[in-house]
């Protein structure tokens, strides 16, 4: 499902050169729930950004669902993200003026699908927000916002869910709720890669990859 | 996407208001320039000025020829219900000789217009005062005329209608005394020897009871002049009157035509385009994070461009709407000031459909074009950078 081969990324900030990722290589099989754990600044988010095509690697290969995304153009990456990847962000990145359902069905507007509204409602029910379907994002709690974000990530029925610190802004109860949703998704054969610095959250996954200073220590 | 564009704009109402304000100012300036340059000289002025239609006795000549006929003043009641008629002004037109010691002192007869001041076009009294509606023997004369015959305010002069003079003999019973109450600067008069008095003074000079020599009809819509004329003719068919169409143009607006109006028009266009660009690009830069979110979830580039175009068009629509309302109010006030300053009763700066069309078309075109640049700019910016922006 996912294969990374010697992926490197370096940032240059003035005279400082930071090696964010050093020869990262790993594989994730379909239906696996994998966590990448490590302290702040170890390169976890850079890894997610590169895997989602939001950032580019300097060298190495990144094969997702049989496609090498390092060779894709901006437009191809955009289409790839829309169809193949669901992103869950620490800061949710939802449109505050839209309702929960409108946020969820936003990516569907660009796909040739029928029953977009019904799908939006179904996904919100799936994450336990059946009573918040028409609530504006502004009116939701942080935990509910994250669940809307997960429902949006699932909207296009992606092959892979990439979650960047999905519990970073949540209290412990909401965090556990989110992890339970991820476990449910795994049972539905979703492939999930989650970045976290929280040991407890990582323990919900099948496998933990540890990162330190841009190096992966499996 | 349209709904999202609208909601994104409504989410930041102050920003929307400020963005639209730029367009509003541009539209306002554009309408103002169009109204004072391109359109008033042809459409609105003619539409507003009196003498679009005149009614006089059948077979008798009115205007600046010798006027011999007269019409019952009650005919105004017969036509006042015609929809396109705004007002009907009864007028006594006659030629006057000024008399001293039973001798004619003016070589050429003066054209006297007995018309109440509310209908007076283009004359502004600089010295003295206007006559009032009830004055029966007061006149105002031009400055050139007063200098030529050494007439001044307060002078009581003897006049006689030229049609009452037979074989050069002045009949004393037709002689009338009138007082000069004001002197006006000539503006559009073809003849220095033009004299104005009230309608009542006109009747007094001609020994009229309930008669006028001519009626000036003010139309609401000058384009319907022929239909109105025909309707009027039908209603007055038993009245032995002649209905004629006369249009006049006001020369003072001609100065804005041709080169000047073209330059002003281009300035207005640039102003609208610049306002649109500033508004839309500042709007775009403040939405960096939201656009980053859309890009992150894989929304295609063309949809983001569409979002910007919709936003530009919404801002333009709002700006145009407010701009037109503000312009309408301002032009109404400007009309009032202009009327009180010049005495012209016409509605010069009316918002015609033509003006509105241009005032809306150009901001929309400008909004469409200038939306493309910020849209292009954000699609080229890195998504990660946009997501991190505040």
Asked if the C-beta of B293 comes within 8 angstroms of chain A's C-beta atoms, the answer is yes
Looking at beta carbons, which residues of chain A come within 8 Å of B1? Answer: 109
Confidence of residue B108 (pLDDT cuts 50, 70, 90): confident
pLDDT at B64 over 70: no
Nearest CA in chain B to A84: B298
Domains of chain A: 2-217 (3.40.50.300)
pLDDT at B366 over 80: yes
Q: Which of B294, B300, B383 sits opposite A54 (nearest CB)?
A: B383
Cα separation, A42 vs A60, in Å, equals 19
User: Among A155-169, B117-131, B151-165, B168-182, whose mean pLDDT is lowest?
Assistant: B117-131
Nearest-CA neighbor of B115 among B77, B97, B88?
A: B88
Nearest-CA neighbor of B15 among B271, B290, B268?
A: B290
Distances (CA, A) of B52 to B72, B221, B228: 20, 10, 10
**DSSP for A42-77, written as a single string:** SSHHHHHHHHTTSS--SEEEEEETTEEGGG--HHHH
User: Among A34-48, A142-156, B112-126, B342-356, whose mean pLDDT is lowest?
Assistant: B342-356
Cα separation, B250 vs B347, in Å, equals 12
Cα separation, B161 vs B139, in Å, equals 14
Cα separation, B250 vs B113, in Å, equals 19
Q: What is chain B's mean pLDDT, rounded?
A: 78
Contact flag B301-A83 (C-beta cutoff 8 Å): no
pLDDT at B331 over 80: yes
Cα separation, A76 vs A53, in Å, equals 10
pLDDT at residue B3 in the model = 82
Over chain B, what HEC string results? CHHHHHHHHHHCHHHHHHHHHHHHHHHHHHHHHHHHHHCHHHHHHHHHCCCCEEEEECCCCCCCCCCCCCEECCHHHHHCCCCCEEEEEEEEEEEEEEEECCEECCCCCEEEEECCHHHCCCCCEEEECCCCCCCCCEEEEEHHHHHHCCCCCCCEEEEEEHHHCECCECCHHHCEEEEEEEEECCCCCCCCCEEEECHHHHHHHHCCCCEECEEEEEECCHHHHHHHHHHHHHHCCCCCEEEEECCCCCHHHHHHCCHHHHHHHHHHHHHHHHHHHHHHHHHHHHCHHHHHHHHHCCCCHHHHHHHHHHHHHHHHHHHHHHHHHHHHHHHHHHHHHHHHHHCCCCCCCCCCHHHHHHHHHHHHHHHHHHHHHHHHHHHHCCHHHHHHCC
pLDDT at residue B51 in the model = 45
The first and second tokens of residue B173, run together, are 């019973």
Average pLDDT over residues B182-195: 70
Q: pTM value?
A: 0.61
Contact flag B293-A109 (C-beta cutoff 8 Å): no
Q: To which H or E segment does residue A212 belong?
A: strand A207-212
Calculate how close chain A gets to B51, using CA atoms only, in Å.
60
Average pLDDT over residues B225-238: 85
pLDDT at B198 over 90: yes
pLDDT at residue B153 in the model = 92
pLDDT at A179 over 60: yes
Asked if the C-beta of A97 comes within 8 angstroms of chain B's C-beta atoms, the answer is yes
Asked if the C-beta of A92 comes within 8 angstroms of chain B's C-beta atoms, the answer is no
pLDDT at residue B140 in the model = 92
Looking at beta carbons, which residues of chain B come within 8 Å of A93? Answer: 292-293, 296, 387
Calculate how close chain B gets to A203, using CA atoms only, in Å.
27
Asked if the C-beta of B385 comes within 8 angstroms of chain A's C-beta atoms, the answer is no
User: Among A167-181, B50-64, B105-119, B158-172, whose mean pLDDT is lowest?
Assistant: B50-64
pLDDT at B176 over 60: yes
Calculate how close chain B gets to A205, using CA atoms only, in Å.
24
Contact flag A81-B303 (C-beta cutoff 8 Å): no
Nearest-CA neighbor of B250 among B328, B292, B189?
A: B189
pLDDT at B48 over 70: no
The first and second tokens of residue B231, run together, are 């309707």
Q: Write down the domain spans for chain B.
A: 2-45+253-388, 50-247
pLDDT at residue A218 in the model = 60
The first and second tokens of residue B147, run together, are 């200098």
Contact flag B4-A93 (C-beta cutoff 8 Å): no
Over A168-199, what HEC string results? CCCCHHHHHHHHHHHHHHHHCCCEEEEEECCH
Contact flag A97-B384 (C-beta cutoff 8 Å): no
Render pLDDT for B268-280 as a digit per residue (tens, 0 to 9): 778 778 877 877 7
Average pLDDT over residues A114-124: 89
Asked if the C-beta of B355 comes within 8 angstroms of chain A's C-beta atoms, the answer is no
Is the sign of the CA dihedral B89, B92, B96, B98 positive or negative? negative
pLDDT at B353 over 50: yes
Looking at beta carbons, which residues of chain A come within 8 Å of B10? Answer: 97
Asked if the C-beta of A158 comes within 8 angstroms of chain B's C-beta atoms, the answer is no
pLDDT at residue B222 in the model = 67
Distances (CA, A) of B11 to A98, A104, A138, B19, B288: 9, 19, 11, 13, 14
pLDDT at residue B43 in the model = 38
């Amino acid at each position: 499902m996912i294969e990374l081969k010697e992926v490197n990324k370096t940032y240059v900030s003035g005279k400082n050169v930071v090696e964010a990722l050093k020869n990262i290589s790993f594989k994730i099989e379909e239906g696996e729930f994998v966590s990448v754990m490590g302290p702040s600044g170890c390169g976890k988010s850079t890894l997610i950004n590169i895997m989602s095509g939001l950032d580019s690697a300097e060298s190495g290969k990144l094969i997702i669902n049989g496609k090498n995304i390092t060779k894709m153009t901006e437009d191809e990456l955009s289409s790839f993200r829309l169809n193949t990847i669901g992103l869950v962000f620490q800061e949710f990145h939802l449109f505050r003026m839209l309702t929960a359902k409108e946020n969820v069905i936003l990516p569907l507007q660009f796909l040739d699908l029928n029953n977009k509204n019904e799908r939006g409602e179904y996904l919100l029910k799936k994450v336990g927000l059946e009573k918040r379907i028409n609530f504006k994002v502004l009116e939701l709690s942080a935990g509910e916002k994250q669940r809307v974000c997960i429902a949006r990530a699932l909207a296009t029925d992606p092959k892979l869910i990439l979650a960047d610190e999905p519990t970073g802004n949540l209290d412990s109860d909401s965090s556990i709720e989110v992890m339970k949703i991820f476990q449910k998704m795994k049972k539905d054969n979703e492939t999930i890669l989650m970045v976290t610095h929280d040991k407890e959250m990582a323990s919900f996954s099948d496998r933990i990859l540890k990162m330190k200073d841009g190096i992966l220590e499996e | 996407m349209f709904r999202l564009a609208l909601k994104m704009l409504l989410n930041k109402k102050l920003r929307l208001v400020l963005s639209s304000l730029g367009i509003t100012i541009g539209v306002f300036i554009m309408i103002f320039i169009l109204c004072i340059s391109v359109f008033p000289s042809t459409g609105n002025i003619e539409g507003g000025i009196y003498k679009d239609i005149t009614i006089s006795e059948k077979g008798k000549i009115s205007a600046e020829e010798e006027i011999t006929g007269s019409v019952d003043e009650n005919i105004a009641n017969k036509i006042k219900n015609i929809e396109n008629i705004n007002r009907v002004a009864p007028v006594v037109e006659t030629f006057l000789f000024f008399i001293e010691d039973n001798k004619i002192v003016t070589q050429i007869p003066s054209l006297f217009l007995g018309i109440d001041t509310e209908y007076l076009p283009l004359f502004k009294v600089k010295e003295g005062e206007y006559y009032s509606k009830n004055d029966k023997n007061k006149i105002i004369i031009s400055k050139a005329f007063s200098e030529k015959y050494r007439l001044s305010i307060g002078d009581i002069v003897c006049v006689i209608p030229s049609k009452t003079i037979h074989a050069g003999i002045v009949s004393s019973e037709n002689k009338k005394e009138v007082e000069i109450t004001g002197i006006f600067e000539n503006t559009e008069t073809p003849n220095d020897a033009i004299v104005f008095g009230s309608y009542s003074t006109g009747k007094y000079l001609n020994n009229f009871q309930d008669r006028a020599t001519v009626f000036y009809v003010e139309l609401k819509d000058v384009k319907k002049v022929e239909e109105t004329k025909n309707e009027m003719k039908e209603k007055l068919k038993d009245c032995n009157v002649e209905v004629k169409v006369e249009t006049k143009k006001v020369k003072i607006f001609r100065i804005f035509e041709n080169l000047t109006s073209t330059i002003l028009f281009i300035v207005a266009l640039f102003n609208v385009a610049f306002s649109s660009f500033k508004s839309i690009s500042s709007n775009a830069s403040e939405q960096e994070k939201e656009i980053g979110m859309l890009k992150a979830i894989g929304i295609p580039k063309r949809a983001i461009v569409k979002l910007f175009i919709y936003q530009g068009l919404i801002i333009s629509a709002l700006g145009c709407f407010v701009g037109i309302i503000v312009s309408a109010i301002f032009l109404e006030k400007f009309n009032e000031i202009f009327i009180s300053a010049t005495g012209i009763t016409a509605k010069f700066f009316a918002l015609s459909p033509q003006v509105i069309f241009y005032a809306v078309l150009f901001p929309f075109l400008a909004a469409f074009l200038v939306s493309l640049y910020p849209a292009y700019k954000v699609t080229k910016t890195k998504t990660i950078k946009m997501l991190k922006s505040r």
